[in-house]
Amino acid sequence: LRIVLLAGGVGGARMAVGLSAEPRVGQLTVIANVGDDDWFHGLRVCPDIDTITYTLAGLVNREQGWGLAGDTAGALATLRTLGSEDTWMSLGDRDIGLHIFRSHRLRQGHPLSSITRAAAHALGVSAAILPATDSEVPTIVSTAEGRLRFQQWFVERRAKPAVASLEYAGAGQAMPAPGVREAIACADLIVIAPSNPLLSIHPMLAIPGMRTALAAASASIVAVSPLLRGAAVKGPLAALAADLHFPPGNLGIARMYDGLVDAMVIDHGDAADQAGISGAIGVPVLCAHTLIADAASATRLASTLIS
Ligand code: FO1
Ligand code: CA
C-alpha cells in the first residue's frame, strides 16, 4: 500500500515509525509542516522535518522529541559568550552539522525538498520526507505582546502569551513541493497524524492546491486526534484551541477537520465523544489506542488505520 502521512513534529514522527513498520505499507510518503521553520545564526531550522528524519533514523533525543540523542551544546555556549542573539533556541553541536549542510545548499540555490531528500537518504531513512512546500511560509502568532514568529512564541515565550490569531504568512503565494500532489493522487490511504491541526496541518492546507489535491484524491483521509482526555500528549493545543474559540476536546478537533476528512480516530478513553463528533461533522469516528508510547503501539495504531 502507498500511504501519505500529513505530519507535524513528534506526533507525526511517531506515526511515521508505526506506518513504516507495518508490513502492508509498501511506500510511505511523509508530507511535513514547514510553518515552524525559522533562521537562527544564518542557519535554516526546520523542526518538523528534522524530528521526522531523526526519529525515522533512530537518532532522535526521545526525552525532548527533537534534536539528536547524546548531543552536546558547545557551539551554543560559544554563541552565548560572544553575545549572539536568540540563543534561547538550542541547537546541538552534531545537529548543527545538518543545519550547516541545509543552509549552505539553500544558499547554493537547491530547493528544501531535494536537500531534505538527500539528508534523509544519507541517514538511512527509507520513507520519502517531503516538505509541504519549498517556500518559506512562517507561522506568525498574534498575541498581546505583538506578532511573534512561531519559535519566539513557542520556545522563547514558552507558549504563554494568549493567541489572538494565527497567520500562515506567504502560504497563499506558495505551491506544494515537487512530489506532494503526485503522492496524494497516488495514495491508497491518507493519514493525518496526531499533530496539532492549527500549528502543523492547517499551515499545509493554506498552500493553494493542497485542499484541491486532497479533495480529488481517491484515497480515504483519516485523521488521528492528538487529544487524549482533552489534553495533547505534547504541546499547547488545548489552550490554543480555546484561545481561538474552538469547542474543547475532540469536538474542536473535528471542527478543525470538518469537510476535509472521511473518518476520524479518537482514543478509547474518549469513546463517550464518539457519537457526538460523528454527528457534528458527518463522518465515522473510530476508537483506538492513540497514545504512541513505543514502536509496538505505533505499529498497532498503524494497523488499525490500514484495516
Ligand atoms: N524546543 C524547545 O522547547 N526548546 C528549544 O531550544 C528547541 C530547539 C530546537 C532546535 C531544533 C529543532 O529542530 C527543534 C527545536 N525545538 C526546541 C523544538 C521545536 O521548537 C518544536 O518542537 C516544534 O517547532 C513544535 O512542534
Ligand atoms: Ca511542529
What is the ipTM metric for this complex?
0.96
Which one-letter DSSP state was computed for residue 59?
-
Using an 8 Å Cβ cutoff, are 76 and 41 in contact? no
Q: Which three cell numbers stand for residue 298?
A: 505505533
Look at residue 65 and give its three-state secondary structure: coil
The alpha helices in the chain, defined as continuous H runs, are 10-21, 47-56, 74-81, 93-107, 112-122, 150-151, 180-186, 202-205, 210-216, 237-243, 249-256, 274-281, 295-306
Q: What is the pLDDT of residue 184?
A: 98
- The answer to whether the CB of 154 is under 6 A from ligand 1 is yes
Phi, psi of 113, rounded to the nearest 5 degrees: -60, -40
Which amino acid belongs to residue 82? L
Q: What is the pLDDT of residue 113?
A: 98
Ligand 1 centre and the CA of 155: distance in Å? 7
Ligand 1 atom at minimal distance to the Cα of residue 46: 13
Which of 120, 111, 107 has the alpha carbon at shortest distance from 178?
A: 111
Q: Which three cell numbers stand for residue 293?
A: 508510547
Ligand 2 centre and the CA of 250: distance in Å? 19
Q: What is the pLDDT of residue 240?
A: 96
Q: What is the pLDDT of residue 233?
A: 83
Q: Which three cell numbers stand for residue 207?
A: 498552500
Question: How long, in residues, is the chain?
Answer: 307
- The answer to whether the CB of 89 is under 6 A from ligand 1 is yes
Using an 8 Å Cβ cutoff, are 227 and 250 in contact? yes
- The answer to whether the CB of 91 is under 6 A from ligand 1 is yes
- The answer to whether the CB of 50 is under 6 A from ligand 1 is yes
Using an 8 Å Cβ cutoff, are 138 and 150 in contact? yes
Q: How many degrees, rounded to 5, is the angle at CA 85 between CA 154 and CA 13?
A: 35
Look at residue 101 and give its three-state secondary structure: helix
d(CA 191, CA 92): 31
Phi, psi of 145, rounded to the nearest 5 degrees: -85, 5
CA atoms within 13 A on the CB side of 35: 31
d(CA 264, CA 225): 7
Q: Which three cell numbers stand for residue 143?
A: 498575541
Give the chain's residues under pLDDT 50.
none
- The answer to whether the CB of 103 is under 6 A from ligand 1 is no
Ligand 1 centre and the CA of 159: distance in Å? 12
- The answer to whether the CB of 38 is under 6 A from ligand 1 is no
- The answer to whether the CB of 151 is under 6 A from ligand 1 is yes
Ligand 2 centre and the CA of 203: distance in Å? 10
Ligand 1 centre and the CA of 89: distance in Å? 7
Ligand 1 atom at minimal distance to the Cα of residue 89: 6
Look at residue 9 and give its three-state secondary structure: coil
Q: How many degrees, rounded to 5, is the angle at CA 298 between CA 294 and CA 301?
A: 140
Ligand 2 centre and the CA of 216: distance in Å? 26
Ligand 1 atom at minimal distance to the Cα of residue 200: 26
- The answer to whether the CB of 37 is under 6 A from ligand 1 is no
